[in-house]
Amino acid sequence: MGYPMAGHLKNAGFDVCVYNRTTSKAEQWQQQYSGNVAATPAQAALNADIVIMCVGNDNDVRSVVYGEAGVLATVAPGAVLIDHTTASAELARELAAACAKIGVQFFDAPVSGGQLGAQNGQLTIMMGGAEDAMVIVEPVLKCYARSMRLLGAHGAGQLAKMVNQICIAGVVQGLAEGLHFAQKAGLDAKAVLDVISKGAAQSWQMENRGYTMVDGQFDFGFAVDWMRKDLGITLDEARKNGAQLPLTALVDQFYAEVQALGANRQDTSSLIRRLK
């Protein structure tokens, strides 16, 4: 997702330097957008006013932040570090503390909207951090986001993303069961979708994934492996704060079954596969 996001920044006229752990991806981006490429995170952060990260999980974030080659080795006081990774709220607070020690502002800012949202510049950003720094980052984030909101102190963005994933998991499971029922009942599932999408059952998942679920097309979108990572973070947080998430825990188990079917890198809508 970082590839098109960085592209939007370059197209908006910002001076962009990218780093990717897969060098070929950074070189491809450079050829497409004529931007700068760094050999390390530290080199990418050097002299930057704003540093933006979007990687996989907590350990990935730490690998590009800490150490001699990490972002914090070179980022200057007064700069802002934004993390778009979906990670733990605990990590967000850890990074905020590390940044504060060197005079750097930090936002945990996970995104929703998937690959298509990144490509179209239509992401939604949930943020945790200091309100007075929003004026600095808003013009930048607007290059690839249709909506952003500061929801509280550091960690609030990650907690809000957990809410997002809880809701998505339940909706996808309901959609999978509904389509499975329609097919078992001998109905034209696509015709049913066309009707019920005009009523109270309508959802983003139905509009964007319902028809492809009927066709058995799953080679796009947000991967099952990443959803399981996100649900694992969510369930761990729930154990800490006492929230009861029985449906989320059940859907997480269902996704484990889908992984066992070999759908690790398929879209989360592949949840319907376990019903067939």
What Cα–Cα distance (Å) separates residue 128 from each residue in 3, 83, 89, 176, 252?
23, 10, 9, 33, 26
C-alpha to C-alpha distance for 203 and 244, rounded to whole angstroms: 24
Roughly how many angstroms between the first and final C-alpha of the chain, as a whole number?
Answer: 31
Provide the token pair at 68: 């001699």
d(CA 191, CA 183): 11
Question: Among all residues, which ones are annotated catalytic?
Answer: 161
SS3 57: coil
Query: Residue 145 forms beta bridges with which residues?
Result: 123
| Beta-ladder partners of 105 | 80
Please state, in angstroms and rounded to a whole number, the distance separating the CA atoms of residues 38 and 16: 10
Question: Can you tell me whether residue 19 is helix, strand or coil?
Answer: coil
